[in-house]
Amino acid sequence: MNPLTHRIEPFRALLFDPSVSGGLSRVIAPPYDLIAPALQDELYRRSPYNVVRLELARDSDRYGSAAATLTDWLRRGALKRTSAAAIYLYTQQFTVRSGGSFTRSSLVVRLRLEPFGHGSIMPHERTFPAPKEDRLRLLAATQTNISPVFGLYRGSYPELDALRERLTRQLPIADIVDDLEVRNRLWPVADSRDIGLVQTALAEAPILIADGHHRYETALEYARHRHAQNSGQGELESFDYIMAALVACDDPGLVILPTHRVVTRPFGTEELSAFKRNAEEFFEIEEFAAADKPAFLARLLGLGKGALGVALRGVASRMILRVARPGAAASLLAHIPAAVRALDVSILHGLVFERLLKLPAGEVSAGHAVQYTTDADGALEQVASGEAAGGFLVNPPSIAEVESAAQAGATMPEKSTYFYPKLTTGLVMNPLFE
């Protein structure tokens, strides 16, 4: 009898065995898309069992190497498959630069895939072909969800709160502090009654993909390929599910950091000097001396939604822009879905980048003209040092804005959200093979 029947299922996970692989702190890694070459080298040096060797192998045949490495680790016992299927409670305790300590809780489950627009699983950001092709090749080679996608569920579930409270009074099976000083803890939920409680509570809850859009769409494509190979048999298979860490929208540890833009494409002196004059057509402008960075950043943060911070190479003052003529701005952005038109990042991309700086939208989307960072000080320093042509600072969107965009079927500009901290890779994996 096929056990895959619910929307949410437990799974027999792959877990590192520290007696073979060494301490967990040596084998975990950040998400693959945050690993620069220098960090990749450091993780390789840290351990022959670091999960980066699966997620981001540096061999010429990356995908074949990842598959061979996974097979070798299973043979050696560095990775072991649990005997019992479980869901996992995963908590992350952390601090942020602006101050304050938080704990975010998620339930790591096997979630049944649904095409976007056909059910209650919704995206909120755009995806691009190259990352999906990369992740599809890795998934096909390893037949394993190496890292979970990050989903948000709406609604209040006192029974889930009680389950979390009960579990966190027990000793976790993993308790490690990562390189960003985030404390990661993991508890298995193996009791059938507790698993049933989670399945029942979240059976119909709308779920928003907060992070991992490329991997989610990749999993859909992989499932289509596998079913085609199986002559279209309708029975649910393990590849019809994806490993997901599900977080409540009202979780007190749900933090979104701002994602600032740094323009690396050079501009002429005349273009930059004319920026303020041209911007006055749409924005109210407040200027700050370059030496008064604390006041500039404090003002931007204090204004919140609707404020954009701008620093340009060769321009003495820094500026905060606020839309002065909402009607005119909206008409110029009429090609953008209404649910995301008023977002700060939409105004930044549509009015500032495309209209004022004449940056082609394709260049921005492809990352050829713009880099992204959560470090406002670093963005300003790149401009001051001449490394970048401009730094554009934003405040983060709210959870309500993200939900509103998803419910309307609209997608936000790339890198609109940065849910902090990222989910650590290597604590738990979901094999799609028997």
Q: Which residues of the chain have pLDDT under 50?
A: 1
Report pLDDT digits (tens) over 233-279.
678 999 999 999 999 999 999 999 999 999 987 776 677 778 888 89
Residues 269 and 233 in one domain: no
- Burial of 303 (C-beta count, 10 Å sphere; 0-12/13-18/19+): middle
pLDDT of res. 331: 79
Report pLDDT digits (tens) over 341-374.
888 999 999 889 888 888 877 666 656 688 899 9
Nearest Cα to 78, choosing from 16, 23, 27, 26?
Answer: 16
Instruction: Determine the structural domain holding residue 344 and report its residue range.
Output: 259-395
Domain count, the chain: 2
pLDDT of res. 365: 63
Residues 41 and 64 in one domain: yes
Residues 240 and 332 in one domain: no
Virtual CA dihedral for 155, 158, 162, 168, nearest 10 degrees? 30
Partnered with residue 14 across adjacent β-strands are 81, 429
Residues 297 and 221 in one domain: no
- Give the single-character DSSP code of 162: H
pLDDT of res. 325: 78
Six-digit token pair at 273?
A: 């000097």
Residues 102 and 180 in one domain: yes
Residues 380 and 325 in one domain: yes
Residues 305 and 377 in one domain: yes
Residues 193 and 293 in one domain: no
Cα(257)–Cα(47) distance, integer angstroms:
31
The answer to whether residue 41 sits within a structural domain is yes
pLDDT of res. 262: 94
The answer to whether residue 166 sits within a structural domain is yes
Cα(318)–Cα(289) distance, integer angstroms:
6
The answer to whether residue 400 sits within a structural domain is no
Virtual CA dihedral for 287, 359, 283, 281, nearest 10 degrees? 120
Report pLDDT digits (tens) over 206-226.
999 999 999 999 999 999 999
Q: Where are the alpha helices (DSSP H) in 104-189?
A: 129-142, 158-167
pLDDT of res. 233: 66
Residues 335 and 309 in one domain: yes
Residues 251 and 264 in one domain: no
